[in-house]
């Protein structure tokens, strides 16, 4: 799916939509405490330096759901990386915003809104996290949403968009800068993993319908399963050692972003260009 870069000027709104109406659709709102811990820890490690350099480290938790746990936890985790971090939870359902308001505290606010990212004073976020938000959208709508959100980022900012299971054991997300998608990260609780392709059910909307023969993401997961099978002798040393061995084998054919510390946490990150639909990688045997 090609990425549509941000327009040079905001697109005009349809005449039928009032200017104040939030952009987007209400999600199911399912949320649980600690559901997004894997994504949060990756963000803290990967984006912490950018938050520390920023004069205004404001972060958006977009579509946090029926309860504010994910925003509360995001603030706590990112403040270990940069104590000045502020988090704004944005929800398109006003009832959810009202329910979250009692949880406001220093550095944590909740606002009614959507993909337009309404922040006071024209502020631009250093990070937008959109977890389990685009699952209900059509694949063809994703590039435009990505472009709209990336256009709201501050210089050096990051959009993280992805999907996880209900208790956060399996998670896949795309990291995007203002120029577009950069990487895809697969993260799992290793003790519950049967094989790497089990993560396919949590692929983001941009990739989940592409997990078919001939597509790059299908080839990647196929090769990952093969590497996992070849690393079976390491299982006696634990699932972590098997994972590390499998990823090292996978790195011979795929452009992985190496970080041994993240690897030990059950993560692997691959450059977006290798998995993007139409990249030509899907024909590998």
Q: What is the pLDDT of residue 37?
A: 96
* Mean pLDDT, rounded, of the chain: 90
Q: What is the pLDDT of residue 53?
A: 97
- CATH number (3.40.50.1820, 3.40.50.10490, 3.40.50.150, 3.40.50.720) of 37-279 reads 3.40.50.150
Q: Within 10 A of 266 (CB to CB), how many other CB atoms are there? A: 22
Q: Is this structure's pTM higher than 0.75?
A: yes
CA distance linking residue 247 with residue 66, whole number of Å: 37
- Binned average pLDDT, 10 residues per bin, the chain of 285 residues: 41 40 74 90 96 98 94 97 98 96 97 96 96 93 96 97 94 96 97 96 96 97 98 96 97 92 94 90 61
**Domain ranges, ordered by start, for the chain:** 37-279
CA distances from 53 to 57, 80, 81, 108 (A): 8, 15, 11, 20
Q: What is the pLDDT of residue 31?
A: 75
Q: What is the pLDDT of residue 283?
A: 56
CA distance linking residue 47 with residue 260, whole number of Å: 17
By C-alpha distance, which of 269, 209, 281, 276 is closest to 47?
269
123 φ/ψ angles, rounded to the nearest 5 degrees: -65, 150
Q: What is the pLDDT of residue 285?
A: 53
pLDDT in tens, 49-88: 999 999 999 999 999 999 999 999 999 999 999 999 999 9
């Amino acid at each position: 799916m090609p990425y549509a870069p941000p327009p040079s000027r905001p697109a005009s709104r349809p005449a039928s939509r009032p200017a104040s109406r939030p952009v987007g659709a209400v999600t199911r709102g399912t949320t649980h405490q600690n559901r997004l811990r894997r994504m949060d820890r990756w963000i803290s490690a990967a984006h912490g330096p950018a938050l520390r350099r920023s004069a205004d480290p404001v972060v958006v938790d977009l579509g946090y759901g029926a309860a504010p746990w994910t925003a509360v936890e995001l603030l706590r985790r990112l403040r270990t990386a940069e104590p000045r971090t502020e988090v704004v939870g944005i929800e398109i359902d006003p009832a959810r915003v009202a329910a979250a308001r009692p949880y406001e505290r220093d550095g944590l606010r909740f606002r009614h809104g959507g993909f337009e990212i309404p922040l006071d004073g024209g502020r631009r976020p250093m990070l937008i996290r959109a977890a389990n938000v685009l699952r209900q959208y059509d694949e063809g709508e994703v590039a435009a949403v990505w472009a709209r959100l990336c256009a709201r980022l501050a210089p050096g900012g990051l959009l993280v968009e992805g999907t996880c299971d209900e208790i956060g054991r399996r998670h896949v997300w795309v990291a995007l800068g203002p120029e577009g998608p950069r990487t895809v990260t697969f993260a799992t609780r290793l003790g519950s993993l049967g094989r790497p392709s089990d993560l396919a059910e949590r692929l983001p909307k941009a990739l989940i319908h592409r997990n078919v023969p001939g597509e790059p993401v299908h080839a990647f997961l196929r090769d990952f399963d093969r590497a996992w099978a070849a690393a079976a002798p390491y299982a006696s040393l634990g699932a972590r050692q098997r994972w590390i061995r499998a990823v090292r084998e996978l790195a011979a054919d795929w452009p992985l972003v190496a970080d041994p510390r993240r690897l030990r946490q059950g993560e692997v990150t691959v450059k977006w260009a290798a998995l993007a639909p139409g990249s030509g990688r899907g024909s590998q045997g």
